[in-house]
Structure 1
Amino acid sequence: MLRLADSDRPSASKMQYHKFEVQETLKALKTPEPEPWAAGEYDWDDMLQEIIAIHRYRWDYGYTIVQGTGYLLDPEFVDVDQHLDAETMESLTRFFAKTYPKPKPFEPGSTPTELEKQAYEEGCRAAVANRSAAEIQLLEYKMKRGVFSRETVWETAKHVSAADFWFLYGSGVKELQLVAMRACAQVAGAGSAERGHKMMNFIEDRNRNRLLWEDVESRMYVCWNSLQLEKLEHVERKAGELPICFKEFED
């Protein structure tokens, strides 16, 4: 789990599964035989229950609907019965609502025009239709129907990321593809953001603490793109270097 959390790879969809594995491993632990020097000093059953409670607290604290939705739509776990877990299905429902939101209702006391009312009703109908289509497509995915019935699809899924899987095979289930790619493309950690904070602290330090936000943003843009440009120039130089032909020096 630490490797997943520290990685820049899209791994948020795998966090819930590994958290569940840790929980089941803790529950399966048996009370060990206490060492002679510790006999009577520790209640191992209470200690184990406390560890499980701490793990559950951390789960609840770090759990997001992205993890639940990604776990449900990750092809690695397609044969797992996630529909039996109420927490996972609730995450999916909430993610559907965020991906296909209804229009914002009118303010109390306002007098919308007929066109505004019509646009609001059409927006609500479109949101419901998209959510319903995504749910139907989810059934096709879990039951392995349509494009998901091909053996090559699941063989490919073993060698590509979940986001790449939906990029390749989600064109026939557009509504579900959008949800899946948003959920499965998320990283589990904050390493990328922390690197940005590090550069920001380098640019705006104690000696340059009067910089406006626009100046900080511009300098960060230059720094990041300078690094990318240096890498690109290095690649171009490598590509332009021709191998030495030793036959020219034989004479």
Structure 2
Amino acid sequence: MSDTSSGQVLDPKRPWLTDERELPGHMNWLHTLFDPTGESPRLHFTRAWTLLFTLQTIVILVPFAIATVVNFAGGDGSPIGTFGVYATPVVFVITTLISYIIHSRRLNDAGKWPILALVPLVPLLLALAAFMATAMGEIQKYDQRFEQRQQYLADPDAYLERQLQESREAQAAARQRAAEAEANGEAAPQQRRGPPPGGRGQADQGGGVDKPLPPKAETVLKASLPTIQRIMIPLSALIAIWSLLWVARVPFFGTYPGDPDYRA
């Protein structure tokens, strides 16, 4: 600790530093980012937090910005956008785990309850739960499409005829419900449009059974991974406010070691 009242300055480039432990030269990045059992003063925590925030911002914005520019230029930016879809959750998981470590070190240094370091993990846990639920639903949809395609390949004419018959039966049931509602003086239920009589059924109405299916893993991941972003980004923004306004400042809040009016 230095005596700022005697005119000594710890770091001429950072005259606001009054705690010798906070000097950048005293910061061990390896320990700060990967050792949850140690302690980090406020400046070391803020530097590490800024690094993680920058990495998240880059992986969110840069791939999609480049893909947009390429698309406007007449090229195909979808591979770059796909890279962003896959890279963003990976970076979010890694940086969130490291965020737990730096929060734990900062709370240890401030003499606060270390279990509060689990707060940054909440968005990740919720996002992973939503990802798993979405992925399970997408797997079921894919398996259903796969089964339909196998039926179509086994006998295309029989499959299309069966789909057409099911469509006709559904339309007949809808017309019957509408007639019953009209007879009872009720508003007729809105009917969903189906294929026209004599049509080819759902195979040509978006079912896609006549086309090869994309790989299962790719299909499921592309549909499920954005769920992580949609949950983590807004929740992490709220936690970032908590981190900067409270975690980075405890326990001093404007009065720091080395200040003349500091009381330990």
Using the size of structure 2 for normalisation, the TM-score is 0.25
Query: Taking CA–CA contacts closer than 8 Å with sequence separation of 6 or more, which of the two structures ends up with the larger relative contact order?
Result: 1
Q: Which of these two proteins has the greater Rg computed from alpha carbons?
A: 2
